[in-house]
Structure 1
C-alpha cells in the first residue's frame, strides 16, 4: 500500500500508467474544478537539458580553424573562417574557434555573453558504444552500470523541498529518459495537447492501472486536497484549461517545426504557466554522421540549424523569464579528428556543449583543446577529453538550482569547477 506521502512522491498525481490520449480523467477534472485557483510556484529557477543523441562532431560545430593538423585531417570537411568564403565561412568567435555558419542564430547570444561553449568535454570512460556512453552520462556514474537513478532525478531530490506539483521534473519525450530514472517524481509527456504520459523507469508507479489509481484517489482525496495535493490538482486544472494547441509564442517568435522545436515550445508553455517546473529535458536525434556529413549543407548543417534555432526561439519566447532559465546541451561523445572514406566521421571521444543563460560566463570557449597533432590525440585518433562532463554539469546545476550535495549528484566524482557560471 502507498501512503499519502508516498503516493505524492511516487508521482501519484502524474497520471502514470493511464496513457491519456483523450485528456484528463473526469474524476480528476471534477476534483480540480472544485478547488479555488491560487497563485502557483512562481519564481522557480528552471534548468533545461537537451541531449544530442548520436554523438555530435564538436570539431565541426566549433572548429579550431587555425589548426593546420585539422585541415590536413579533413580535406573535404574542413571549413575556413576567411571572410572570402561568404556564407560558407565559419563565424569567428575569438580568433581561434569558429562557429559553424548554420549556427548563426547563436552569434548574437555569444557576443552578448549569454552563451558559453565548453570544448574538449566528455566522459572519462573510453567506450565508443552509443548506448553505454549515453547510459553513463545520464546516470552520472561513468564507471558503474549498476546505478539505478539518473543524475537529473537526483538533482530533483536535492532541490530542498518535497515536490508539491507533478511538474517539478518533466521530459518532453515519449518515454522516460535515463536521466530521470529514480525515486523522485518525474513525468515523460510526449505532447501537452494529448497529455499522453508514461512513467517508464519509475518503479513506484509504472504498473499501476487506472482502476488502482482511482482507488487511491478515493482513499486519499480529502488529505490531498488539504495540502500539497491541492496545488497538484490546480496544476492539472491549468493544463486542462490552457489552449496548448493554439499557444502563441511571445515577441513574434516562430519555432522550427522539428521535434526539438516542438519540445522546447511546450517547455516554454509550462514555464509560463507556473506549474512548478524546475528541471526539463528534451532530445535532439540524428547526430551519428558516419556518411556524407557535409559542410555548409548536409546532415550536420541541418542538425545544427535546428538545434541553434530551436534554442534561440525558446530563449526569445521566454522574454522577462530569461533570468530564471539556463539551457544546457550534452552529447555522449564526439567524432574522430580524421574524416573517413565515406565523407563522414566515426565515433570519437571529446566534443563540445552549449550553455545559455544570463548567469553564464558567456562569450568564451571554455576548456582545453591542444593542437591536433597525432601525439596530442587520444588513442592517436581523437580529440582528447580534457574536461569531465561532471565538472560542468555539477557547476551548472549547483549554481543555478542552488543544489548543495555533489556527493549525491555525482557519486565518486572528485573533480573541480571550470568557471562556466558566474559567481
Structure 2
C-alpha cells in the first residue's frame, strides 16, 4: 500500500493517519470491521495460540556467499581475491561452510540446534531489479506483477480458525503495512510502540494520538464514529504493555539501531499476549557494489547488527522462544566474482536463516550447486536450487498452521512432500 500521510497543507488526514501513521490498519475499510468486536474477550483466545512466525527481509540483496561462506570451494577464494573471508577468520560450521565472523553471536544458536540455514535459495525469476525481486518475493508470485496481496497475508488467511481473531494478529514494524502483509486479513503497522498514549489529551499523549482523537471528535463519518471507541480500546491494549518502560530480559542488549529497535518492539508485542501470530521487520543496507570488505568493513557492519539483533531477540524471548519460528529472506544474492571496485553486483541465489524452538538446526540445508565456472547461473551467480517458497511454505505450515499452500503460493506446487524438514 502506498499513499500520502498528509495533505498538501501538512494536515493529518484520516486516510493518511490510518495508512502511514504510527499505527496503520489495512483491511476492507479505513477502520476495519474487526475493531467493532469485543477486543479484550478476543485476547484471551488469541493468546492461547502460542505458535508465532517472525519474518525478516534483508532489503538490498545480501551477499550470501560472504554470510554463510563455502570455504570448502576452491573457486570461492579464486573469484574473490580481496573480499573473501579467510579460513582463519571465519567460524567453521561443518568443514565446508562457515559463518562470517561478524555473526559470532549466532554460532551458539547453531550449536544448540535452534538455527539452520538454507543455502542456494532464491526466486526462479531471473530479474536483477531490486524493486521487482522484492515485490515478487513479498507477493510470493515470482514473475507475476498482477498479484494484489502478500504471501504472509494469504498464509494467515489459510490458517484462520473459527471465531474472532485478534486485531494484532499480523503486525509489522514500520510506517506502513509491507507488501508481504497486504491483503484481505487486516494487518497493523507500528512505527514506534511508545508513540501511543491515548488515555487523554495533554502533555502525556503523543501528537499522533492527539491528532487522531481530534479527527474522531470532529468527524461526521458514521463509520469512524461507529468504531472509534473500539479503535481506542485496541490502542489502549497496546498501551497496557507499558511500552515506554519496557526493559528486555536480564543481560539482553539490542543494538542501538533501527533493526535492533524493531526486533525489541516485536519481542515486547509478543510478550504482551496481544494475540500476535505473525510479525514482520526489515533491515536495509545490503547493496554492496563498492568497498564491501571481507572480515571487516561495510558488509561486516551490517552482518553484526543483523546477527547481534537476532541473538538478542532470541535471548529476550526466554522460554517463549520455543514457540517462535523466525525466517530471513533477501531479494537475491550477489555475483560470485568481486567487481573492480571491491564489491559485488546483483546476483541470483542467496542464503536464508531459520531459527526456532522446533527447528532441526545445526545444519546447512539445500542442494549445493557449486562455484565452478560451468556451474554458475549465467556464468556469474550462485544458482538457485531451492525455491524460496519451499522454505517459507514449510515455516508457515509448521508454525501458524497454513494448510492450503497452493493458495498461499499459487503455481509453485509447494506441499509437505517437498519440505526440507528443517522444522520438526
TM class by smaller structure: 0.7 to 0.9
Give the 3 Å change call, closer, same or farther, for CA 309–220 of structure 1 in structure 2.
closer
Structure-2 separation of matches of 1:361 and 1:39 = 31
| Mapping of residues 116-265 of structure 1, within 5 Å | 116-161=116-161, 164-195=165-196, 210=216, 215-216=222-223, 218-219=225-226, 235-265=234-264
Structure-1 separation of matches of 2:77 and 2:391 = 29
Alpha-carbon offset, residue 212 of structure 1: 5.7
Structure-2 separation of matches of 1:38 and 1:287 = 38
1:72 — aligned with what? 78
1:43 — aligned with what? 48
2:60 matches 1:61? no
Q: Count how many residue pairs are aligned between Structure 1 and Structure 2.
A: 375
2:18 matches 1:16? yes
2:366 — aligned with what? 367
TM-score, normalised via structure 1 length: 0.83
Structure-2 separation of matches of 1:328 and 1:172 = 16
TM-score, normalised via structure 2 length: 0.83
Give the 3 Å change call, closer, same or farther, for CA 264–80 of structure 1 in structure 2.
same
SS of aligned partner of 2:193 = coil
Give the 3 Å change call, closer, same or farther, for CA 272–298 of structure 1 in structure 2.
same
Moved more, 317-326 or 91-100: 317-326
Is the 2:124–2:384 Cα contact (8 Å) retained in structure 1? yes
| Mapping of residues 256-295 of structure 1, within 5 Å | 256-295=255-294
1:357 — aligned with what? 356
Give the 3 Å change call, closer, same or farther, for CA 90–238 of structure 1 in structure 2.
same
| Mapping of residues 396-407 of structure 1, within 5 Å | 396-407=395-406
Alpha-carbon offset, residue 34 of structure 1: 12
Structure-2 separation of matches of 1:136 and 1:18 = 23
Alpha-carbon offset, residue 173 of structure 1: 1.0
Structure-2 separation of matches of 1:297 and 1:420 = 34
Structure-1 separation of matches of 2:158 and 2:143 = 22
Alpha-carbon offset, residue 234 of structure 1: 5.2
Give the 3 Å change call, closer, same or farther, for CA 125–212 of structure 1 in structure 2.
farther
| Mapping of residues 306-325 of structure 1, within 5 Å | 306-325=305-324
SS of aligned partner of 1:42 = helix
SS of aligned partner of 2:235 = helix
RMSD between superposed Cα atoms in Å: 2.7
Give the 3 Å change call, closer, same or farther, for CA 122–20 of structure 1 in structure 2.
closer
SS of aligned partner of 1:41 = helix
- Unpaired runs of at least 5, structure 2: 1-13, 24-35, 198-214
SS of aligned partner of 2:171 = strand
SS of aligned partner of 1:16 = helix
Moved more, 165-174 or 123-132: 165-174
Alpha-carbon offset, residue 80 of structure 1: 2.5
Is the 1:163–1:185 Cα contact (8 Å) retained in structure 2? no
SS of aligned partner of 1:166 = coil
Structure-2 separation of matches of 1:186 and 1:35 = 18
